[in-house]
Amino acid sequence: MATRCLCFATIMLTASILVLEISAQLECGGNLIGIKTQCSSFIQKEGKTIPPSESCCAALKGANISCYCKYVTPVVENMVSIEKALYVAKTCQAQNIPTDKCGSYIIPHPPSSKA
């Protein structure tokens, strides 16, 4: 049955994303569940760029952004705006924000950091 196969594929995809998220969380720190629940409205593709909330920043505390960027796959890029995510990370003063690229997103102008 085609529907059953599709359903199975969806479960596998969801499961592999979950595994990816768990390993990202363990390796890169921060609170990924919190990031997903508290920051999603600030990093979604639609809508204006708005400053992140305190709870979003709290979830990002201790997260290594460069490290998370390693986990930015086309699937992730489809769901979130990397540009906004980097803006949120910067606003929250998260650690290790990359200056060149994140996933396939090329960061236009390196923020004035001590190079």
Ligand X SMILES: *[C@@H]1O[C@H](CO)[C@@H](O)[C@H](O)[C@H]1NC(C)=O
Q: Which residues bind ligand X (CB under 6 A)?
A: 64, 66-67, 70, 95-96
User: From the CB of 67, what's the least distance to ligand X, in Å?
Assistant: 3
Q: Is the dihedral of CA 75, 15, 70, 62 positive or negative?
A: positive
User: From the CB of 52, what's the least distance to ligand X, in Å?
Assistant: 20
Of the pair 57, 94, the CB lying nearest ligand X is at: 94
- Exposed e or buried b per residue across 16-44, where buried means at least 16 C-beta atoms within 10 angstroms of its C-beta: eeeeebeebbeebbbbbebbeebbeebbe
Residue 49 CA to residue 41 CA, distance in Å, equals 10
User: From the CB of 54, what's the least distance to ligand X, in Å?
Assistant: 23
Of the pair 61, 70, the CB lying nearest ligand X is at: 70
Residue nearest to ligand X (CB): 67
CA distances to 9, 17, 29, 57 from 4, in Å: 9, 20, 37, 41
- As given in the structure block, the two tokens for residue 27 are 């390796």
User: From the CB of 95, what's the least distance to ligand X, in Å?
Assistant: 6
Residue in this structure with the two tokens 């980097």, named with its chain if needed: 86
Of the pair 53, 95, the CB lying nearest ligand X is at: 95
